[in-house]
């Protein structure tokens, strides 16, 4: 088992257990057909009223100018490792419903679902995705003329994970550390806030 494969308390799909967000990416390019399939997976995510409020701006190293433009929309700390990825994308969201111009409270949630679909599809194809909130939304708006009521919210680095042994020391430890998560009893409640659900406690006992 890969060190990054989740050690779960209950059985889950292998794809979800194997998905993780690497800091190291190899030089191998991602095929255009695979990139299209990742966004096809995002396309079929659920959304409130089927609004599909997500938009993606994508750049690959096949076009160095566009790649540099998108890379510049990340905060400096993320640029340091994300520049190695062969594909970068910005996740942009419409904060208002198209049908009535009212605020869409589910918009960011729905963008997350779409990117979750994308990440799962990537894992199934042997690819990795590292999502990040550390971007420069105003710079992205200027760089891509993002219209009013839309906002750049996240970025995604996409590619084949690198062998941690050849990664810079600054990032190697992050990719070699086993994944950890809070146990279910800390976030699945019944009856009142903070009271662990017996559904969980009975099975963990």
CA pseudo-torsion sign 58, 62, 65, 70: positive
Asked if 184 contacts 200 with a C-beta cutoff of 8 angstroms, the reply is yes
Supply the CATH number for residue 113's domain.
3.40.109.10
Is 34 a domain residue?
A: yes
What is the distance between the alpha carbons of residues 51 and 104, in angstroms, rounded to a whole number?
9
State how many domains the chain has: 1
3-class state of residue 195 by DSSP = coil
Question: Looking at the domain assignment, is residue 95 inside a domain?
Answer: yes
Q: What region does 11 belong to: left with phi over 0, alpha with psi -120 to 50, or beta?
A: beta
Specify the residue for token string 């990825």: 85
In a domain, 175, yes or no: no
Provide the residue count of the chain: 205
In a domain, 203, yes or no: no
Q: Is residue 86 part of a domain?
A: yes
Structure confidence at residue 195 (pLDDT): 95
Q: What is the pLDDT of residue 205?
A: 63
Please, what are the averages of pLDDT over each run of 10 residues along the chain (205 residues)?
82 95 96 98 98 98 98 97 97 96 97 98 98 98 97 98 83 86 94 94 74
Structural domain of residue 126, as residue ranges?
21-163
Could you tell me if residue 188 is inside a domain? Answer: no
CA dihedral 184, 187, 192, 198 (to 10 degrees): 0
Question: Is 3 strand, coil or helix?
Answer: coil
Task: With respect to residue 157, please indicate whether it lies within any of the assigned structural domains.
Answer: yes
Q: Is 7 domain-assigned?
A: no
- Between the alpha carbon of residue 131 and those of residues 1, 62, 77, 125, 201, the distances in Å are 24, 21, 14, 17, 32
Please state the pTM of the whole predicted model: 0.94
């Amino acid at each position: 088992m890969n060190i990054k494969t989740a050690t779960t308390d209950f059985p889950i799909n292998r794809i979800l257990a194997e998905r993780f967000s690497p800091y190291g990416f190899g030089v191998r390019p991602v095929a255009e057909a695979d990139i299209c399939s990742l966004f096809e997976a995002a396309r079929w995510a659920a959304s409130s009223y089927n609004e599909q409020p997500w938009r993606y701006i994508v750049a690959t190293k096949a076009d160095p100018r566009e790649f540099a433009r998108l890379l510049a929309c990340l905060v400096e700390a993320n640029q340091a490792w994300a520049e190695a990825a062969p594909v970068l994308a910005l996740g942009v969201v419409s904060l208002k419903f198209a049908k009535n111009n009212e605020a869409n409270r589910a918009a960011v949630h729905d963008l997350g679902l779409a990117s979750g679909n994308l990440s799962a599809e990537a894992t199934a194809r042997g690819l990795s995705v590292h999502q990040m909130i550390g971007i420069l939304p105003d710079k992205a708006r200027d760089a891509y003329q993002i219209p009013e009521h839309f906002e750049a919210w996240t970025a995604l680095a996409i590619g084949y994970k690198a062998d941690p042994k050849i990664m810079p020391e600054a990032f190697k430890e992050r990719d070699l550390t086993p994944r950890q998560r809070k146990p279910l009893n800390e976030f699945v409640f019944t009856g009142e806030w903070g009271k662990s659900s017996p559904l969980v406690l009975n099975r963990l006992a």
